[in-house]
Amino acid sequence: MEISTTFHVSPRWFKDGILRLMSFSRLLWETIVIVPIAQLAGAGFVTSVMLVIAYLRAVFGVDLAGEIKNRAARLTVWSALLACQLVVLGSSANAFDTKCDEQVEDIIYCRRAKYGISVGAIGTAMSLGVVGMKMVTALAPFVVESAIAVFLCIMNGFGVALLTSAKGPGSPIGNLYYFTWLSFITNVMIVANVYDDYRNAGAAPQTTQDGDVEVENMDQGI
C-alpha cells in the first residue's frame, strides 16, 4: 500500500516541481534580461543624442544645447516632459494590448492602463504645444503655460498613484514605472520654476523712463 501511494504521488510532485522551476526561470529571464534590455535601449538613445550634440559642437561649432537653453525659458524641461509623456503613452498602450483583450479582462488593471494612455496622450499634446510656441515665438503666454503645467502636474500625480500601485500596469519595474515618476518630477520642476518667475515678477520694482534717467515707481511703498 505504501509503495503504491508513493508511486502515484511522486509523479505529481515531480510535475509540480517542473512547473515551478519553469515559472521561476521565466521570471528570472524577465528580470535579468528583458528589463535591462529596455533600460539599456533608453540609455542608448540618450547617449546617441549626447554624441550628436558633441559632434555638432566640435565640427561645426554649433552649441545646440546653448541655443536651446537661450531660446526660451524652460524649453529644455518641457522637451524632457514631452519625451517622458511619449514613453508613458506607448508603455500604457502596450500594457493594455497585452493583457486587456475581450476574453480575459482585469477591470482595475485595464482602467488604469486606459488612464495611462489618456495621461500620455494629453501630456504629449500639451507639451508639444508649449514646446512649439517656445521654439517659434521664443516665448509662450505665461498664463497658458502656468495653467497647462498645473493641470499636467495634477494628472501625473494621479498617474503615479494609479499606474505604479500594486494593481496598476506600471507596478513592475520597467519603462512605465520609471517614466511615470519622471513625468511627475519634471512637471513639479516646471510648476516650481513658473511659481518662482511669478513671485520674482511681482517683487520686481516698477520703473518708468523719464528722458535718460530711470525713475523708480515708489507708489507701492507709500
pLDDT tens digits, one per residue of 174-210: 889 999 999 999 999 999 999 998 888 766 555 544 4
Same domain, 171 and 71: yes
| CB-neighbour burial class of residue 122 (10 A; exposed 0-12, middle 13-18, buried 19+) | middle
**Three cell numbers at 22?**
519553469
Asked, for residue 73, whether it belongs to a domain, the answer is: yes
Same domain, 109 and 149: yes
pLDDT per position as a tens digit, 4-49: 444 444 555 555 666 565 655 555 445 454 445 555 555 666 677 6
Over residues 49-69, the mean pLDDT reads 63
**Total domains present in the chain:** 2
Report the DSSP beta bridge partners of residue 214. Answer: 209
Same domain, 54 and 87: no
- Over the chain, what is the mean pLDDT? 74
**Three cell numbers at 18?**
517542473
Strands (E), the chain: 207-210, 213-216
- Whole-number pLDDT of residue 218: 45
Same domain, 88 and 157: yes
Residue 26 structural domain: 1-62
pLDDT over 90, % of the chain: 27
Same domain, 54 and 19: yes
Same domain, 4 and 68: no
Same domain, 35 and 108: no
Asked, for residue 129, whether it belongs to a domain, the answer is: yes
Same domain, 48 and 11: yes
Nearest to 115 by CA among 98, 96, 129: 96
Same domain, 51 and 72: no
